[in-house]
Structure 1
Amino acid sequence: MIEINTRIQNLKPSATLAINQKVKRLRNQGHIVYNFGFGQSPFTIHQKIVAALIDNADNNDYLPSTGLPELKENISSYLKKYHRVVANPKYIYIGPGSKELLYQTILMLEGVFLIPQGSWVSYLPQVKSKGGKYAILKTPHENNYKVTADILLDYCANNFAGQKNLILNSPNNPTGAVYSAEELKSLSEVCKEHNIIVLSDEIYSLLSFQNGRSSSIGEYYPKKTIVFGGLSKIFSAGGYRLGFMALPQELKFMHENFSSLFSETFSAVASPIQYAACEAFSLKKEVLEQITTNTAILKTIGHYVFNELEGIGVKCTQPQGGFYIMVDFEKYRALFAEKQLFTSKEIANYLLEYGGIALLPGSDFYYNENTLNFRLAYVDFDGKSATKGFSKNHVSDQSFIEQYCPNIYHGLKQLKSILKKM
């Protein structure tokens, strides 16, 4: 009898990766599927970044386990310029994706992990895999499912003792919400009062629809905010698997612990990838212009999706950044119940099997299974084609979506048709 760690045995595959594999399988079988389930940037990697990778393809050196010094310097400058976060390059760490660095940090920290309802699917499984304590903070739809200072303060008032670690994500996956500077200031006051460590996941940082940058809680609560980011979303380089974390001066005593943990696990990120990331985070004019265009396209599509669904009475979160919105099918609860569909997972399976619509159920994002919330990712389109069309026409209406994002256009049409028939 072979025994397996029960904490690992009880984990299921990541919902986001699982839905993408299922969609690929169905499409390979000849089915038409509109993939609103997977959140991968559809845009091309800028050629300056690709060229840097090619130029260093023959570099087979083991770099320092904490990362290439030049890359850490570039990330430090990037954080200061775009997010007003002061980070000492010595305490910036490079890992194989921000997901891995979040996990290593969760392994490192004790205490309870506070996860706002409507958060990325992997936070809780990572906490559970180490047997960690956690609490899900309920968030209101009226606030775009963002945790408020009052909600956090109420939890702390009722759970005064022990270390607390807040996981915050802005722009947010799955809601598309972005925390304003005022909201982050209010949260930071509660964090200061209760000595909370913040894990700030800012992987979508420059994909903000308001001013091209999202505020970081690290600006207002610098002493105990650990900032995470990477290449996958803003640079459209998910397959490169490179992320970073910036440890504040106040927590520098953990430096040796992180260095040791990295050296005993992933050793170092691949050398050519780190040199490519060095080019990315230098954010030269051409690269920044591409990010700006990508963000404008996502904003156009996000608002189109929002308006189309709100037009038939589906409650949605306001798309403020990234490439997601959260949709609420509560209006259709009784009609789904007539089909013996009662949970978000059952409805998601039904929509995929009978309508070719791939959505992720809200239960994957810490909502009750009977809450009829779903994450809709609006990136099922050809980024290269959309960029050409957008640059050529600067169109932000239905004709642009129909011509350059046909899966978004026809997928929404299909979803609306199913709901209207019900």
Structure 2
Amino acid sequence: MKINKDIFSLKPSATLEINEKVKALRKEGKSINHFGFGQSPFPIHHKIVDALKEHANNNHYLPVDGLDSLRDCITRFLLENQAIKTSKESIFIGPGSKELLYQSILIFEGHFLIPKGSWVSYIPQIKSKGGTYSILETYIENDFKLTAETLEEFINKGTENKQYILILNSPNNPTGAIYSESEYQKLADVCKKYGLIVLSDEIYSQINFDENYATSISKFYPDKTIVFGGLSKVFSAGGYRLGYMVLPHELKHLSRVYRSLFSETFSCVASPVQYAAIEAYKYSNDIKEYVSDSSSILSGISSFIFKNLTRNQITCTNPRGAFYMMVGFDELQERINALGIQTSKELSLYLLENYQVALLPSSDFGFEDKELFFRLAFVDFDGKNVMKVYQEKKQITENFIKENCPNIYKGVERLIKFVNDLQE
């Protein structure tokens, strides 16, 4: 039997794989502190759920582009809550931003550029089409954000006149970092100079610890930036599988290409889900406040983790959004190597087996195997209960986390114990 070699070489998504492994261990009765899976822990706002119920009997195929009324809502939402000016005709609805990104990767020919410290699925998606890519160097001192200097240096080293497609993600998975306006302006200048296409993954935009939303690079490079977003993170609706993409005016001629590909693959997103999404993107004051409270909770938890790990010789990025940080044991590499552990994957297994802590190895995010960094997702708590308690007190303290987020609290303790054990 012959199988597409590019598909056959893929492995299961690292995030989904670790989640299944933790579920199996917990089923065996083991106490696991799960920092490996990045799903919003909060319930979906009741207004969105009610809209889904109301339209549950709608069994019609909808337009390939998506409901006009939904695209209208997203147009207004983007203008008012992300400072992106676009039109309904530029918006396409799909079964998650992940699928829309994949279909874009299928469409564009060229060489893809991935900053070190990027979401696990970008590279497998490129590999699945037999595409080529390069990982661009980033550094912990800058929370693993790509700089304009690194981008331009790479392009100038190229020997061929290639079309480059840069994939950016802010707020970032796995680091929690957010690009500032000045950082984006400098990157945009390089992108414009060399005519890059930018795929801007902004799925976490409103989960921002300092502002109402994260700036989009499309503000500085609207010509060839395609923006992606969706329900899964901001609205805690990963299982609804609805995303959107915004095609810039300069690439409007590709609408036909996208529409044709969508019609031959997923056809349209489920009707009830699209009607539920309308309620989400109306972004009424109570939903907006709910999202804001979610961000405040995540900010308080991330601050607790950052403070406790960094004062115990664990290197951390300083998250400003999303619900992740990268943690590293570079200061302890010699002691870890003395255990016979050389790679981040080996150390992740060691931590899971000996300290019951699940972390994703950095090798899944574009790092070299021997770089001992890991993605830590800080969402292993009962979101419904935590939201209720927070809305009564509007304050996140260490005691709050100990009482209401015990898996987070215990997981931090276990990581610190690992460090202390290394030094005995």
Common fold, TM-score beyond 0.5?
yes
Within 5 Å, which residues of 2 pair with 1:1-400?
Answer: 2-159=1-158, 161-400=161-400
The answer (yes or no) to whether the contact 2:81–2:212 under 8 Å persists in 1 is no
Task: Compute the displacement of 1:355 (Å).
Answer: 1.1
The answer (yes or no) to whether the contact 1:88–1:249 under 8 Å persists in 2 is no
Residue aligned with 1:118, SS: coil
The count of aligned residue pairs is 421
Query: Per-residue displacement from partner, 1:193-239 (whole Å, max 9, x unpaired)?
Result: 01011000000010011112100001111111000000000000000
Query: Per-residue displacement from partner, 1:9-67 (whole Å, max 9, x unpaired)?
Result: 00000000000000000000111100000000000100000000000000001000111
Q: For 1:352 and 1:419, locate their aligned partners in 2 and report how far apart those are by CA, in whole Å.
A: 14
Q: For 2:361 and 2:167, locate their aligned partners in 1 and report how far apart those are by CA, in whole Å.
A: 21
Task: Compute the displacement of 1:396 (Å).
Answer: 2.1
Q: For 1:35 and 1:218, locate their aligned partners in 2 and report how far apart those are by CA, in whole Å.
A: 35
Q: For 2:90 and 2:60, locate their aligned partners in 1 and report how far apart those are by CA, in whole Å.
A: 22
TM-score normalized with structure 2 length: 0.98
Q: For 1:262 and 1:394, locate their aligned partners in 2 and report how far apart those are by CA, in whole Å.
A: 44
The answer (yes or no) to whether the contact 1:83–1:219 under 8 Å persists in 2 is no
Task: Compute the displacement of 1:394 (Å).
Answer: 2.4
> What is the RMSD of the two structures over their aligned residues, measured on CA atoms?
0.8
Identity of aligned pairs, percent? 51
Residue aligned with 1:63, SS: coil
Residue in 2 that maps onto 1:420: 420
Where in structure 1 do 4 or more consecutive aligned residues deviate above 3 Å?
none
Task: Compute the displacement of 1:338 (Å).
Answer: 2.0
Q: For 2:92 and 2:282, locate their aligned partners in 1 and report how far apart those are by CA, in whole Å.
A: 17
Which amino acid is 1:337 matched to?
A: N
Q: For 2:246 and 2:86, locate their aligned partners in 1 and report how far apart those are by CA, in whole Å.
A: 6
Q: Which moved more, 1:155-164 or 1:285-294?
A: 155-164
Q: For 1:212 and 1:352, locate their aligned partners in 2 and report how far apart those are by CA, in whole Å.
A: 36
Q: For 1:34 and 1:212, locate their aligned partners in 2 and report how far apart those are by CA, in whole Å.
A: 30
- Give ranges in structure 1 of 5+ residues lacking alignment: none
Which amino acid is 1:283 matched to?
A: Y
Task: Compute the displacement of 1:314 (Å).
Answer: 1.0
Q: For 2:89 and 2:212, locate their aligned partners in 1 and report how far apart those are by CA, in whole Å.
A: 28
Residue aligned with 1:115, SS: strand
Residue aligned with 1:302, SS: helix
The answer (yes or no) to whether the contact 1:85–1:222 under 8 Å persists in 2 is no
Q: For 2:393 and 2:47, locate their aligned partners in 1 and report how far apart those are by CA, in whole Å.
A: 25
Residue in 2 that maps onto 1:403: 403
Query: Per-residue displacement from partner, 1:99-158 (whole Å, max 9, x unpaired)?
Result: 000000000001111000000000000001001111110001111100011111111211
Residue aligned with 2:282, SS: coil
